[in-house]
Amino acid sequence: MKLDVNALRYLSKDDFRVLTAVEMGMRNHEIVPAELVDRIAGLKHGGTYKVLKNLLKHKLVHHDSSKYDGFRLTYLGYDFLAIKTLVNRGVFSAVGRQIGVGKESDIFEVATEDGTIMAMKLHRLGRISFRAVKSKRDYLMHRSSYNWLYLSRLAALKEYAFMKALGEHGFPVPEAVDCNRHCVIMSLVQGYPLVQVKELGNPDEVFDTIINLVVRLAEHGLIHCDFNEFNIMIDDEEKVTMIDFPQMVSVSHRNAKMYFDRDVDCIFKFFRKRFNLSLEEDNHDDEGSGSETEESHRPSFSSIAKSTGFLDKQLAASGFTRKDQDDIEKFIEGGEEQNTVSSDGEELPENEQHHNDPISTELYSLQLANQETLSINHAMGDATEELQQNLDN
């Protein structure tokens, strides 16, 4: 999705006030009645309705009058709220080109005042899996705030918490800088996703490093669950960095062994094919298969000493709870389905559709959108967070 932050400059205090009011209304409405937006925003002389028109023009909200006159945030509207909050916090001051399109995210460069470039990942968890969301409705019925805002926020919080904890334990991950709503700010990784690398000086060494990462993660009680050539970055010195953590699970998960083996398989397959490493064929630690005396590089899940406390203790400290983990797991296990229909069954506007090809290099390859770095005006009025606090009172 194109993220034209230019409009940010022209949005007034009132615009943000009303946008925040729509966000707040979405805690218990998929479509927020216009009167409710007006009541929350509390602008004088019917000002809310004029502002809503402006927000609609900039595609920050979507108008829905099928059941009643109401509005919901668009991804862009949610992006703007997160970006504005982070800019007000002084985390960065400019948004630049798009550097990645993931399955369920968009990644942009952002810059601080002194020119430091970082990566901003905007989670779009509902984007692909709206049908999965529907099938999970029963389970989540009691949860009024349940919608793509909630899921994307949860994914961001989880990613941030894992990145921080993993970094503190010496894993090669981007530095977790900050997090707001569905948005994670992290250090920019130099290099490329492994999938784009055609040649390596020391493929054996890189392979060992990567397999050791899977093992070390398991020793810490964790499985990446999407450990493959798209989520491993490599630089010119062949230094490895792993990314993309919203789907990680604990080694105590009931399907842990399957996830672990799948991660290992991905790496084996890729290195065999791309770099012609002679690695033995499938040889999982299934009962009765193969002999232990045969030297095998393939790590076996059952022989790894695991510490299961990591997930709960480390992550709870970052505000990501066991319950959050359960919620997001239930959703992610719903599988990924491609579609262009929103959670309330309507066709999504073109700019919110995501065409999810089967894992293709194209989808994951750097998307160098030809965008000039656009600076965000600092003097945009008071912080969204402050406003939210005011509104809460």
C-alpha distances in angstroms, 87 versus 14, 92, 326?
A: 18, 5, 31
The residue among 341, 343, 319, 340 whose CA lies nearest residue 331 is 343
For the bound state, the minimum distance from the C-beta of residue 107 to ligand ADP, rounded and expressed in Å, comes to 4
Query: Is 149 or 194 the residue whose CB approaches Mg ion more closely?
Result: 194
Question: Tokens standing for 261?
Answer: 């083996």
By the rule CB under 5 A, 261 interacts with Mg ion? no
Active site residue 64: no
By the rule CB under 5 A, 228 interacts with Mg ion? no
Query: Is 231 or 342 the residue whose CB approaches Mg ion more closely?
Result: 231
Query: Is 20 or 228 the residue whose CB approaches ligand ADP more closely?
Result: 228
Binding segment for Mg ion (CB under 5 A), chosen from 19-27, 170-178, 227-235, 254-262, is 227-235
For the bound state, the minimum distance from the C-beta of residue 271 to ligand ADP, rounded and expressed in Å, comes to 18
Tell how far CA 152 is from the center of its chain. Answer: 7
Select from 77, 102, 221, 246 the one that contacts Mg ion (CB under 5 A): 102
By the rule CB under 5 A, 231 interacts with Mg ion? yes
Query: Is 71 or 162 the residue whose CB approaches ligand ADP more closely?
Result: 162
For the bound state, the minimum distance from the C-beta of residue 159 to ligand ADP, rounded and expressed in Å, comes to 8
d(CA 160, CA 153): 11
d(CA 186, CA 169): 17
Query: Is 72 or 124 the residue whose CB approaches ligand ADP more closely?
Result: 124
d(CA 326, CA 258): 18
- Choose among Mg ion, ligand ADP, none what residue 285 binds, the Cβ cut-off being 5 to 8 Å by kind: none
Tell the residue number behind the tokens 């095998």, with chain if given: 296
- Choose among ligand ADP, Mg ion, none what residue 119 binds, the Cβ cut-off being 5 to 8 Å by kind: ligand ADP
For the bound state, the minimum distance from the C-beta of residue 314 to ligand ADP, rounded and expressed in Å, comes to 20
d(CA 235, CA 191): 4
**Candidate list 226, 261, 263, 324, residue with the active-site label:** 226
Binding segment for Mg ion (CB under 5 A), chosen from 18-26, 102-110, 162-170, 348-356, is 102-110
Residues that bind ligand ADP (CB under 6 A): 99-100, 102-105, 107, 119, 121, 174, 186, 188-189, 193, 230-231, 243-244, 364, 366
- Choose among Mg ion, ligand ADP, none what residue 121 binds, the Cβ cut-off being 5 to 8 Å by kind: ligand ADP
Other beta carbons within 10 angstroms of residue 359's beta carbon come to 12
DSSP conformation class of 377: P
Cβ atoms of 188 and 129 closer than 8 Å: no
Query: Is 55 or 177 the residue whose CB approaches ligand ADP more closely?
Result: 177
Size of the site for Mg ion (CB under 5 A): 4
d(CA 210, CA 194): 11
- Choose among ligand ADP, Mg ion, none what residue 162 binds, the Cβ cut-off being 5 to 8 Å by kind: none
Cβ atoms of 180 and 159 closer than 8 Å: no
- Choose among Mg ion, ligand ADP, none what residue 62 binds, the Cβ cut-off being 5 to 8 Å by kind: none
Cβ atoms of 88 and 81 closer than 8 Å: no
For the bound state, the minimum distance from the C-beta of residue 102 to Mg ion, rounded and expressed in Å, comes to 4
For the bound state, the minimum distance from the C-beta of residue 174 to ligand ADP, rounded and expressed in Å, comes to 4
Tell the residue number behind the tokens 């999407």, with chain if given: 226
For the bound state, the minimum distance from the C-beta of residue 245 to ligand ADP, rounded and expressed in Å, comes to 8
CA dihedral 373, 192, 185, 174 (to 10 degrees): -150
Select from 23, 38, 79, 244 the one that contacts Mg ion (CB under 5 A): 244
Q: What phi, psi does 108 have (nearest 5°)?
A: -125, 155
Query: Is 41 or 225 the residue whose CB approaches ligand ADP more closely?
Result: 225
d(CA 161, CA 364): 24
C-alpha distances in angstroms, 195 versus 228, 270, 339?
A: 9, 9, 26
- Choose among ligand ADP, Mg ion, none what residue 104 binds, the Cβ cut-off being 5 to 8 Å by kind: ligand ADP
Transcribe 102-116 into DSSP letters. -SSEEEEEEE-TT--
Q: How many residues does the chain have?
A: 393
Positions annotated as catalytic residues are 226
Binding positions for Mg ion, rule: CB under 5 A: 102, 230-231, 244
